Chains A and B, each alone.
Chain A
């Protein structure tokens, strides 16, 4: 029997076992597992999400306040603000990476277990990236709400702007808003805020997820917390 296999190996290379079939993890199942991870590890996810929320809240409130000012003849969105936003999002991204690296370390043994059950590297990668998307979506949405509230409070407290100006400028497009200049400001910033949050979270999670995916199962299982 051994000789038989050796022959096959010579002829077919890695297809030596006709028996070997498919391994898969449907996206719907990966999604389900990631959602469970987000639900059940709420504290950990909340910490990661907080980073996104703050970054997006800053972005949204800054853009809205500048839009209000543009309406009242003020300076509007200034070039230096983009720099400010870029730096704030960068800081937020580093925060996500840091938090996700800890999440990976906490789950070494779990990652080893998934691999024992048949997971491929890319399945582990997929699970973490879906989780990142969820974190981005949640963080983007909550960041938008906080930013919106902050901008309205600002308009309310500032007699030079006032609540009426705020609402009218939120429902009109502001061409100075990047990418979403043709949409009403409130809607444009919602889409942009969530979009940036998801993208940022994905990029920031790439390294931790890749690291997790590459773990050797024997090493991952040895790890004790």
Chain B
């Protein structure tokens, strides 16, 4: 009976994934102008934010190590994919962004981006993961900054290489950069990448590997005393997390006509930076991949409405002033979440489609237990 229910769960999730993919294909073929100009660019942005948050969650939530340089891996992936595709484009391997040759380039770009980021993750992870807590945070923070400077100073990323006579030396054209039309046409690529990455991460987390790294998070000494090779699994998880961050680099390179290293900095004015990804993981719930997905989307929407929402103009002046400092709004949002859900929106639970029928029961039992708590408190107060 349990076996069939597991099968049912897999089937439901598979169906949902197919539906999502089909939706992306349909949008790509039939979308109108609002779809093209407003919605699909946002969906692309969401796609890499989701994978960034979920992949950082592997290290932060499941392995329990604070890494502050996650965007550094994304930068490596983005530049690797751009250089690779640009080289092929200049060699005349493809001219138009369509057809089988381009599809092959796109596929290889994803793999190369992931592999180069993973390699770097391995190199950084082996020494860095010997350190614990704050030290790892400092090292990864340093890594994120170094990688940005390194890329800025690489000769083949400079004027003669990626820029093709671009105005600023900080801006480099990519071989991928989709126009709005192409973003819509290739929306299925983003959908597919998100589905595949999330699936692989789920499979990783729900296996002996996930058990191992959660054990390491909960108690490193006990994990070692249970025969778990702590440093091996730490480096492995860090590398896998870097791999997915690298993949998001390709998605980013697809979204943007040019690359600038400031987009991958530790902090910047946008929603994409290493700190913000950490915030997404914390808000979503450490140890919940679906939580990361939800938090990435929610924070993206918050950012989007602050920047583009017409309703902001309708607010009283003092509130509008608050909204001119988006970071202030995020901090408030973060504080609110931490107050009401100290372990993040999802805690360490996962959202499952198959559980939706059980929701009414869960919700009523939640309120029942809160009611009990409250009446118990009241009684205590009365007696006191």
Do they bind each other?
A: no
